[in-house]
Chains A and B, each alone.
Chain A
Amino acid sequence: EIVMTQSPATLSVSPGERATLSCRASQSVSSNLAWYQQKPGQAPRLLIYGASTRATGIPARFSGSGSGTEFTLTISSLQSEDFAVYYCQQYNNWPPAFGPGTKVDIK
C-alpha cells in the first residue's frame, strides 16, 4: 500500500501571505492526487484533483502542482477562511490513502 506523508505538520502564516504545503507518496502515483480542506466540525472538502485541477467553486488562490511522488498545494494569499487542516490523497493505487494533514494556523 502507498503511504502518504505531509510536511510541515503545522504551518503558521499571516493573513495575506503565501502558504506552501507539501505531500509525498511512498511510490509514484502519477498525477492521481487530490487535496482536501477540513475545518473543525466539518467534513473534508475537495479542493484539487488530478494534482492541479481545481474542483468546482474553489477560488483561484488555491493551486496544485507536482507528479510522481512529490506534490505541492499553494495558497497564494491566505484569507481568514483558509485557516484549516489540509489533506492529500492518492488514488492511483488501491486502496485510496490519505496523508496525515497539515494544519495552517494564524501567525
Chain B
Amino acid sequence: QVQLQQSGPGLVKPSQTLSLTCAISGDSVSSNSAAWNWIRQSPSRGLEWLGRTYYRSKWYNDYAVSVKSRITINPDTSKNQFSLQLNSVTPEDTAVYYCARDSGGKDWYFDLWGRGTLVTVSS
C-alpha cells in the first residue's frame, strides 16, 4: 500500500524558513511515472498548488509563480522522500501543507495525499 508520511515543525517564526518532509512508502521518488507535489490549504487561499519534483532521466522542478522566489523542493533518493523549503515566511503562509503524488505526465491530478501538516507562522 502506497503511503506518504509527512513530518516537520508546526510553528515557524516570521522571516524564517518552513521545512517539511514527505517520506514515501510503496513507491519511489525516482519513479518515471510519478511526480511529487506540495499543496497547501488555507481559508483565505483555498487549495493552492506550490510545486513538484520528478525524475525523467534527470530531475525536474516546477514551481508556482506565487512562491517561485522562495521555494525549493528536493528529492532525497537515499531516504525515498522529498522535502519542501519555503523561505522568508509571513503569517500569510499559515496553512495546512500536503504532499501529494501525480502521474507526472499530462494527467496532473493527485491520486495520493499525505495527511497534512498545519504550519502556523507566528512569533
Does A9 reach chain B (CB closer than 8 Å)?
no
Does A89 reach chain B (CB closer than 8 Å)?
yes
Decide: A96 and B113 in contact? CB cutoff 8 A.
Answer: no
Decide: A100 and B46 in contact? CB cutoff 8 A.
Answer: yes
Contact of A89 among B65, B106, B109 (CB under 8 A): B109
> Which residues of chain A are near B111, meaning CB under 8 Å?
46, 49, 55
With contacts A95-B64, A97-B49, A98-B47 taken as known, whether A43 is within 8 angstroms of B115 at the C-beta atoms is: yes
- Number of contacts between A and B (CB, 8 Å)? 50
> Which residues of chain B are near A45, meaning CB under 8 Å?
113
**Which B residues form the contact surface with A (CB < 8 A)?**
46-49, 62, 64-65, 98, 100, 106-111, 113-116
11 contacts between A and B (CB under 8 A): A42-B115, A43-B98, A43-B113, A43-B115, A44-B47, A44-B110, A44-B113, A46-B109, A96-B108, A97-B49, A98-B49
Does A87 reach chain B (CB closer than 8 Å)?
yes
Describe A's contact surface by its main secondary structure. Answer: loop
Does A34 reach chain B (CB closer than 8 Å)?
yes
Contact of B108 among A87, A91, A99, A101 (CB under 8 A): A91
